[in-house]
Amino acid sequence: MATARGLRHLLTCSRWRRGRGEAPQSRALAAVVPGVSQVDNNSDFLGKRPHRRHPGVLQLPCVEVPPALAAAAQFLLLGDSMPNVEKQAQALANYLWSRRLPVEPEELQRRAVHLEEKFLENPDLFQVEEKLREAVLRTLRKTTYHWQELSYNESLSLVYMAARLDGGFAAVSRAFHEIRARVPEFQPQTLMDFGSGTGSVTWAAHSAWGQSLREYVCVDSSAAMLVLAEKLLKGGSESGEPYVPGVFFRQFLPVSPKVQFDVVVSAFSLSELPSKADRTELVQTLWRKTSHFLILVESGTKAGHCLLMDARDLVLKGKEKSPLDPRPGFVFAPCPHELPCPQLTASKPLACSFSQAYHCIPFSWNKKKQKEEKFSMVILARGSPEEADRWPRITQPVLKRPRHVHCHLCCPDGHMQHAVITARQHGRDLYRCARVSSWGDLLPVITPSESELPLSPAEEPPRS
């Protein structure tokens, strides 16, 4: 049961025990810098576990949608006479993946001023102000992304279910697994899902914490989506018994500031809001409703990653303190720090994304049995950063070569590091742990401080 004492005890215990009773002092952590330190092979770094189950392994096997959910989705599509569902589902999936953020009015104004100054460099072509204005507007229409709000009616909701139900379930399941693996003692009782859509978050949460969760609140502005999600829970009918008990559907967020939930989720919903102001207001509201964990998931694109980093910084730098819950927030995953994202500050910005394999729902058009869901996520928790593991996160697929391993790491000092790990330089245990690690895992090492780094010849103290 999640209590008001917060996550300090849970996180502190789970970091080192993992159900085994080891103390922190029994873990030997190494620096991924040659010559600084190595894993002590005589220490209790792994306990009695093999290297493939080292403390940082978070990979989730191929996810499968619950059979009851898959059967209900197939039943609903068979009972609908909508033509070309396959083509519509593929088109919607492609559109959602390629979707970018709406342009803010300030940015649009800046572009218009820039174009006007550029056109005025050749005053002979635009002697009349009206012609100048028309040229600016014409260029803006050609070069500006035209964002449109999606209105999910009954037919579009079914298409969305066919396109995104299993992939969305896989992404959220991976986020829940991160919490379960690192904080096994955490047993939430209440969950709120904003932008619940087809209800995949509810099904994933029930698979993860079905024994403890007693209340699921699904919030979605589309009444058709809520009806569809309820039908899926009842096996495809309107009068059946729900597969998951304690699920409540609403079109609006709870108004009372006293209402909090152990887990709050917003999956693929921030990108549906028309402006930055709307996203800011929503993230602040969701954080006030959060008692323990706030989970935000978006597509694994630059646009999705930027949305999550804006939300992350908003919570971390937010001056608003709820009188009911003054505990600050910190990044539980995936970042091992609260500093600016090094992926976005690089010369060539990249999206920080992860991949999760899943079994496809056996619709008639699904030729592939398995697919990969690429997504970005951020998990924010109430408490202090000292309560969580601060190990480097592997941000790209691990490249395994003869006698060495290439790992791209996001380190606790806020920098990216391309580490080439060998048994000779870093020790056998660290090398084998790196070799069995995967994209998205934590590498159980510590980044050395400047005082631990070897001195250059110019900095060496004079000999006496």
Predicted local confidence at residue 10, as pLDDT: 41
The reported pTM is 0.86
CB 189, CB 112: distance < 8 Å: no
Residue carrying the six token digits 């914490």: 209
**CA 346 to CA 416: how far, in whole Å?**
9
Q: Of 240, 191, 190, 373, give the one whose Cα is nearest residue 299.
A: 373
Kind of pairing, strands 190-194 and 215-219?
parallel
CA dist 52 → 40, 192, 392, 408, 435 (Å)? 18, 35, 17, 19, 9
The one-letter amino acid code at 216 reads: Y
Crossing angle of helices 154-182 and 67-78, in 10° steps, is 170
pLDDT tens track, the chain, 464 positions: 444 444 444 444 444 344 434 433 333 444 554 433 334 343 455 777 888 888 889 989 999 999 999 999 999 988 777 778 889 999 999 999 999 988 888 888 898 888 888 877 776 665 567 777 888 888 888 888 888 889 999 999 999 999 999 999 999 999 999 999 999 999 999 999 999 999 999 999 999 999 999 999 999 999 999 999 999 999 988 888 999 999 999 999 988 878 899 999 999 999 999 999 999 999 999 999 999 999 999 999 999 999 999 999 999 987 555 667 778 889 999 999 999 999 988 788 889 999 999 999 998 888 888 999 999 999 999 987 775 668 899 999 999 999 999 999 999 889 998 989 998 888 888 889 999 999 999 988 865 543 343 333 444 445 44
pLDDT (0 to 100) of residue 78: 85
Instruction: Render the burial of 139-174: b for 16+ CB within 10 Å, e for the rest.
Output: eeeeeeeeeeeeebeeebbbbbbbbbbbbbbbbbbb
Counting Cα atoms < 13 Å in the Cβ hemisphere of 68 gives 17
Handedness of CA 195, 201, 203, 209 (dihedral sign): negative
Q: Give the model's pLDDT for residue 459.
A: 40
Q: What pLDDT score was predicted for residue 160?
A: 96
Determine whether 41 is exposed, middle or buried from the number of CB atoms within 10 Å of its CB (0-12, 13-18, 19+): exposed
pLDDT for the residue numbered 323: 64
What pLDDT score does 456 carry?
37
